[in-house]
């Protein structure tokens, strides 16, 4: 057996754009770029951003105190090689945030605590109270932009349902508020109010608040302007549910700048399920890809993309491939790429200096962006690894374990891997609900997972596209 490996390359860390016209407003670091240049969508977000609140009885003041921290400064005490100090909401985004009018702040009744503790189904009690509180804000919807809901740690028993129940409090609330087109931020006591590094918390909440109010913090700076990226995911309603089992298909389209503000979702009927993974018929895949293409055209004056890249985590069956090709027959190139996260491969970077012993590893992990072909239609891409240019030394996000690559399998398309891999690398930096440098998966798949999880809990799916900010 040959010990030779395919040639490998190391792709440059993708840059982000912080202004639609000024090409100088670019940075590889999302948070430092915001501080230096401000957000991409400057001037397009309401000023001030008005925040409504729901809190336990007598604890509304705790949530208000937390909101005040957004307008203050905070010094980073963790991830200091990456995380900048928080300079205040106005300094970062160029606009203000404040509490909405007095009628937009609700404290739940004091009787909830005893009822919650005594109930054998505390999640039902908690969800019912929160749903009623949200419903009471419907009449005030024009008076606020984003809703904050404070969840104390003592309600932890209500986060999940029983062993035979498919219930998640976070997803339940998101599904209910998304149907009302109401952006919501859950503020958990353990992860927000009590978390020791205040800069880390405030960066995450501040970024989420800006995006949920309709803002675009950054976009991709270096992509093909005539390429569209589609992320595909499925949600299967479990058999234990008292509603019929069905598959909800979610498709989100990202343009060349990585903006995927809307997505389509619908219940698929011609589906084959293998090992809990749904696969669409040719007709169903054609239907969802056609709707995805329509979404792209609507945002680009009726123009179709020259090239389309479709990402999903499971293989493309022959019927699915045929459905995609039929939908995209006017496009010059179509790449159907399966992205596999759980792989057994690992890599070590070897010293290249003359003084080093043969095979001696470097003191830092494999570089992020390393691309290694392993078969004609397969490659390994390190979306997680060492990055230069973040600080004075190599930056390794998480700083533990040996980074493993994702496995890319191309089920349709041809040509070198470089542009396909670079797009995935760049899209891994487009999660606006995260303050990290990157995610392990491209946003086409990270967002798709979130969407599928929440959408399957919605009783009715509309035919119009949904805005992602109501689900994040």
DSSP 94: S
Please give the domain boundaries of the chain with CATH numbers for all domains: 8-13+222-470 (3.30.420.10), 41-212 (3.40.50)
Q: What is the spatial distance between Cα 236 and Cα 328, in angstroms, rounded to a whole number?
A: 26
pLDDT tens per residue, range 1-14: 444 556 788 999 99
Mean pLDDT in residue range 399-425: 91
By the 10 Å C-beta count (0-12 exposed, 13-18 middle, 19+ buried), 399 is classed as exposed
Instruction: Give the tens place of pLDDT for each residue, 309-332.
Output: 999 999 999 999 999 999 999 999
pTM here is: 0.91
Tell me the pLDDT tens digit for each residue of 357-366. Answer: 665 666 568 8
Contact 387, 355 (CB under 8 A): no
Give the three-state DSSP class for 458.
Answer: coil
How far is the C-alpha of 316 from the C-alpha of 232, rounded, in Å?
A: 11
Say yes or no to pLDDT of 438 above 90: yes
Query: Would you state the structure tokens that stand for residue 323, as one six-digit string?
Result: 């459905």
């Amino acid at each position: 057996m040959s010990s030779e490996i395919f040639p490998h390359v190391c792709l440059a860390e993708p840059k982000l754009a912080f202004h639609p016209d000024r090409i100088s407003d670019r940075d590889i670091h999302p948070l430092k770029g915001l501080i230096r240049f401000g957000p991409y969508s400057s001037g397009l977000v309401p000023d001030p951003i008005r925040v409504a609140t729901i809190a336990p009885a007598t604890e509304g003041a705790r949530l208000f105190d937390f909101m005040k921290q957004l307008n203050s400064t905070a010094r980073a005490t963790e991830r200091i090689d990456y995380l900048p100090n928080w300079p205040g909401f106005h300094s970062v985004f160029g606009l203000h945030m404040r509490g909405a009018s007095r009628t937009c702040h609700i404290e739940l009744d004091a009787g909830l605590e005893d009822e919650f503790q005594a109930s054998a189904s505390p999640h039902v009690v908690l969800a019912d109270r929160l749903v009623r509180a949200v419903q009471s804000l419907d009449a005030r919807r024009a008076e606020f932009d984003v809703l904050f809901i404070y969840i104390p740690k003592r309600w932890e028993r209500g986060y999940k349902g029983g062993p035979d129940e498919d219930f998640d409090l976070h997803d339940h609330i998101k599904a209910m508020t998304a149907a009302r087109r109401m952006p919501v931020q859950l503020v958990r006591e353990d992860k927000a109010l009590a978390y020791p590094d205040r800069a880390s918390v405030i960066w995450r909440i501040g970024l989420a608040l800006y995006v949920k109010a309709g803002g675009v913090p950054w976009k991709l700076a270096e992509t093909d302007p005539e390429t569209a990226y589609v992320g595909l995911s499925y949600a299967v309603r479990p058999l234990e549910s008292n509603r019929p089992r069905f598959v909800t298909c979610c498709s989100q389209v990202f343009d060349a700048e990585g903006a995927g503000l809307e997505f389509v979702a619908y219940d698929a009927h011609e589906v084959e399920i293998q090992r809990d993974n749904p696969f669409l018929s040719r007709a169903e895949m054609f239907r969802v890809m056609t709707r995805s293409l329509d979404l792209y055209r609507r945002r680009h004056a009726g123009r179709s993309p020259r090239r389309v890249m479709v990402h999903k985590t499971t293989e493309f069956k022959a019927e699915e491939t045929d459905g995609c090709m039929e939908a995209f027959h006017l496009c010059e190139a179509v790449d159907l790429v399966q992205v596999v996260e759980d792989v057994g491969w690992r890599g070590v970077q070897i010293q290249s200096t003359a003084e080093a012993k043969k095979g001696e590893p470097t003191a830092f992990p494999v570089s992020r962006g390393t691309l290694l072909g392993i078969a004609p239609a397969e490659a390994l891409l390190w979306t997680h690894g060492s990055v230069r240019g973040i600080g004075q030394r190599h930056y390794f996000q998480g700083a533990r374990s040996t980074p493993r690559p994702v496995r890319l399998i191309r089920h349709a398309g041809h040509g070198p891997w470089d542009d396909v891999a670079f797009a995935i690398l760049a899209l891994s930096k487009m999660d606006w609900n995260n303050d990290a440098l990157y995610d392990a998966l491209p946003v086409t798949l990270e967002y798709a997972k979130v969407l599928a999880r929440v959408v399957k809990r919605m009783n009715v799916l509309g035919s119009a596209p949904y805005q992602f900010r109501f689900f994040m």
